[in-house]
Amino acid sequence: MTKPESVKLLQWVEIDSSALIHNIHQFRRLIGEKRKLLAMVKANAYGHGILEVSRIAVHAGVDWLGVHSLEEGILLRKQGLTCPILVVGYVLLDGLKEAVAHDLRLTVYNFETLNKLPAICRQLKKKAFLHVKVETGTFRQGIREEDVLSFMKKAKESPGLVLEGISSHFANIEDTTDHAYAQSQLQNFKKVLQELEQNKVDIPLKHMSCSASAILFPDTYFDMVRAGIGMYGLWPSKETFLSCRLQKREPLLLKPILSWKTRIAQVKKVPKGSFIGYGCTYRVSRETTLAVLPVGYYDGYDRRLTNSSYVLIKGKRAPLRGRIAMDFIMVDTTDVPELNLEDEVVLLGKYGDDGITADDLASLLGTINYEIVTRINPLIPRIIT
Ligand X SMILES: Cc1ncc(COP(=O)(O)O)c(C=O)c1O
Residue 226 contacts ligand X per CB under 6 A = yes
Q: List the one residue from 47, 49, 228, 349 that touches ligand X (CB under 6 A).
A: 228
Cα–Cα distances in angstroms (integers) from residue 297 to residues 14, 325, 326, 362, in the given order = 19, 6, 5, 15
User: In whole angstroms, how close is the CB of 66 to ligand X at the nearest point?
Assistant: 6
Query: By rule CB under 6 A, what string of x and - marks binding of each residue 68-97 to ligand X?
Result: --------------------x---------
The DSSP secondary structure of 203-257, one letter per residue, reads -SEEE-B-HHHHHH-GGG-TTEEEE-GGGGT--S-HHHHHHHHHTTPPPP-----
Q: List the one residue from 210, 276, 373, 376 that touches ligand X (CB under 6 A).
A: 210
Q: List the one residue from 30, 40, 120, 372 that touches ligand X (CB under 6 A).
A: 40
Tell me whether strands 128-135 and 104-108 are parallel, antiparallel or unpaired. Answer: parallel
Helices (H), the chain: 17-31, 42-46, 50-59, 70-78, 96-101, 111-124, 148-157, 180-198, 211-216, 238-246, 358-365, 369-374
Q: Which amino acid is at 345?
A: V
Cβ proximity to ligand X: between 208 and 313 the closer is 208
CA distance 113 to 110: 5
Cα–Cα distances in angstroms (integers) from residue 99 to residues 126, 137, 193, 331, in the given order = 11, 28, 27, 47
User: In whole angstroms, how close is the CB of 344 to ligand X at the nearest point?
Assistant: 30
**278 is annotated as an active-site residue:** yes
Cα 178 off chain centre by:
24
Residue 211 contacts ligand X per CB under 6 A = yes
**282 is annotated as an active-site residue:** no
Cα 219 off chain centre by:
23
Stretch that binds ligand X, among 155-163, 221-229, 263-271, 296-304 (CB under 6 A): 221-229
The DSSP secondary structure of 126-159, one letter per residue, reads --EEEEEEEESS--SS-EEGGGHHHHHHHHHHST
Residue 227 contacts ligand X per CB under 6 A = yes
Stretch that binds ligand X, among 96-104, 204-212, 241-249, 354-362 (CB under 6 A): 204-212
Stretch that binds ligand X, among 192-200, 206-214, 248-256, 323-331 (CB under 6 A): 206-214
DSSP 8-state class, residue 291: E
Catalytic residue of the set 238, 268, 272, 278: 278
User: In whole angstroms, how close is the CB of 88 to ligand X at the nearest point?
Assistant: 4
- State the number of binding residues for ligand X (CB under 6 A): 12
Cβ proximity to ligand X: between 282 and 370 the closer is 370
Q: How far apart are the first and last CA of the chain?
A: 9
User: In whole angstroms, how close is the CB of 258 to ligand X at the nearest point?
Assistant: 14
Stretch that binds ligand X, among 209-217, 277-285, 333-341, 375-383 (CB under 6 A): 209-217
Q: Which amino acid is at 383?
A: I
Q: List the one residue from 117, 229, 270, 356 that touches ligand X (CB under 6 A).
A: 229
Stretch that binds ligand X, among 91-99, 224-232, 254-262, 285-293 (CB under 6 A): 224-232
Binders of ligand X in range 142-201 (CB under 6 A): 169
Answer whether 318's CB lies under 8 Å from 310's CB.
yes
CA distance 239 to 230: 14
Catalytic residues: 42, 278
**Which residues would be at the binding site for ligand X (CB under 6 A)?**
40, 88, 169, 210-212, 226-230, 236
